Copies of this chain bind each other. A is one copy, B any other.
Amino acid sequence: MKLMEYQGKDLFRRVGIPTPRGVYATTADEVRTYVAEHPGSWVLKSQVMMGGRGKAGGIKFADDAQQGETLARELIGKVLKSVQNPDGEEVKSLLVEEKVDIASEAYVSIAIDRAAKKPVVLVTAQGGMDVEEVAEHDPDAIKKYWIDPAEGYSPYIGRQLAFDAKLPEGYRKAFPAVLGALYELFMDYGANLVEINPLVLTNDGRVIASDAKVELDDNGLYKHPDVAQWNKQSPADADQAAAVAIGLGMSNYARFEDEPGLPPKTVGTIANGAGLGMGTMDAVKNAGGGAANFLDIGGGAQAELVKNSYKLVTSDDRVKAMFINIFGGITRGDQVAKGIVEALSGDDVRKVPLVVRLTGTNAKEGLAILAEAGFVPVETMDEGAARAVELAKGAQ
Contacts and interface: CB of A to CB of B under 8 A. Distances in A.
Interface string A110-150: 00000000000000000000000000000000000000001
A59 to B, nearest CB: 40
Interface in A146-187: 150-151
A151 B149 CA distance: 9
Nearest to A148: B150
Contacts of A151: 150
Contacts of A150: 150-151
Interface residues of A, number: 2
A185 to B, nearest CB: 18
Nearest to A152: B150
A187 to B, nearest CB: 12
Nearest to A150: B150
A172 to B, nearest CB: 23
Interface in A242-264: none
A150 B150 CA distance: 5
A151 B151 CA distance: 9
Nearest to A151: B150
A181 to B, nearest CB: 15
A151 B150 CA distance: 7
A151 B152 CA distance: 11
A311 to B, nearest CB: 40
A150 B151 CA distance: 7
A148 to B, nearest CB: 9
Interface string A302-326: 0000000000000000000000000
A234 B150 CA distance: 38
A19 to B, nearest CB: 24
A385 to B, nearest CB: 45
Interface in A336-378: none
A262 B32 CA distance: 82
2 contacts: A150-B150, A150-B151
Nearest first, the 2 A-B pairs at minimum CB distance are: A150-B150, A150-B151
